[in-house]
Structure 1
Amino acid sequence: MSIWWSLHLRREAASVPLARRLLLGTMETAGVDPDVSYDLSVALSEACANAVEHGGKSAAQGGCSEAYRVTAYLDGEKCRIEVADSGPGFTAERPVPTPTPAHADAEAGRGLYLIRELADHVHIGNEPGLGGAVVSFDKILKWRKDAPLMAV
């Protein structure tokens, strides 16, 4: 069984809970274990928040891009999520940040660390051919006993 969907969202804070609710609804309908669904929804929220905050084009690139893309794949025993923006991406001057735990009182800086802790595999890089950052992560799924769409 495979399910996939893709959203093109405005770079606005209100788009983050929309993506999260769609993922949670998809996983609940499919019968994914609620703990796994919750972990992936938190990781998705962090990736979307990063795209909203950092995913716009710089002034040197001609202004601000107003959108980012979220794609989710539930394929057999795994869920893979990609969040891509059209911002400046990562360069030698702006390298991929190293995810590290933030101080307890920090208001920002936890996103990539949380994604790495909640997912099984994480890739952070540039969108091939388009520029912009892409954060992709996956997790092995666990299913409820009564899962209607459980992988066979």
Structure 2
Amino acid sequence: MSIWWSLQLRREAASVPLARRLLLSAMEAAGVDADISHEVSVALSEACSNAVQHGGGHSEVYRVTASIYGDMCRVEVTDCGPGFPSGAPPRAGILTALDTRDLQPGGRGLRLIEALADRVRFDNQPGSGGAVVTFDKMLKWREGALLRAS
């Protein structure tokens, strides 16, 4: 068994907790460990906040897609803004030391997503622009979980 859902949300701050609550509810119903659910929901909140803040362009909406398949959760947040600057993609990997760039406003959400997820991709939509943040998290299950992989 698996779960898959997709939402189209308005680019407003109230959409962030809505997406987070829906994901947490799905993970709770599936039987995902509470600590893992929390980590995924925080990463989702950061990706959604980024889309709300920077995902302008020609659209007032952004899209969240999430799936649980086997022992993996994948979340993708796509907006219609300018995307990530070409030639200057976000730094890969988890930060190991604080530097002066990390003291500047903005950008810490992407680092937090990297720290919480097992695999992260920061891309732009082909042709139309817009950022695409995709992250995967290996799941742990509570005893008696409904979707636990066999």
Using the TM superposition, give the Cα deviation of residue 65 of structure 1 relative to its aligned residue in structure 2, in angstroms.
1.8
Give the distance between the partners of 1:131 and 1:20, measured in 2 at CA: 25
Give the distance between the partners of 1:134 and 1:92, measured in 2 at CA: 13
Cross-structure match for 1:117: 115
C-alpha contact (below 8 Å) 2:79/2:130 kept by paired residues: yes
Return 5+ residue gaps in structure 1 as ranges: 58-63
Using the TM superposition, give the Cα deviation of residue 23 of structure 1 relative to its aligned residue in structure 2, in angstroms.
0.3
From the superposition, tell whether residues 90 and 110 of structure 1 become closer, same or farther in structure 2 (CA, over 3 Å): closer
Cross-structure match for 1:98: 91
Using the TM superposition, give the Cα deviation of residue 40 of structure 1 relative to its aligned residue in structure 2, in angstroms.
0.2
**Cα RMSD (Å):** 1.7
Output one character per residue of 1:36-73: Cα deviation in whole Å (capped at 9) or x when no partner.
0000000000000000000111xxxxxx4200000001
Cross-structure match for 2:32: 32
Give the distance between the partners of 1:80 and 1:19, measured in 2 at CA: 14
Give the distance between the partners of 1:37 and 1:92, measured in 2 at CA: 33
Using the TM superposition, give the Cα deviation of residue 129 of structure 1 relative to its aligned residue in structure 2, in angstroms.
4.2
Output one character per residue of 1:2-61: Cα deviation in whole Å (capped at 9) or x when no partner.
11000000000000000000000000000000010000000000000000000111xxxx
Match of 1:74 among 63, 68, 77: 68
Q: Does 1:44 find its partner at 2:61? A: no
Give the distance between the partners of 1:15 and 1:45, measured in 2 at CA: 10
Give the distance between the partners of 2:79 and 2:43, measured in 1 at CA: 16
Is the deviation greater in 41-50 or in 139-148?
139-148
Give the distance between the partners of 1:112 and 1:90, measured in 2 at CA: 12
Aligned length: 143
TM (norm. structure 2) is: 0.88
Cross-structure match for 1:85: 79
TM (norm. structure 1) is: 0.87
C-alpha contact (below 8 Å) 2:2/2:147 kept by paired residues: no
SS of match in other structure, 2:113 = helix
% of aligned pairs identical?
A: 64
Is the deviation greater in 130-139 or in 27-36?
130-139
Using the TM superposition, give the Cα deviation of residue 107 of structure 1 relative to its aligned residue in structure 2, in angstroms.
5.6
C-alpha contact (below 8 Å) 2:70/2:147 kept by paired residues: no
Return 5+ residue gaps in structure 2 as ranges: none
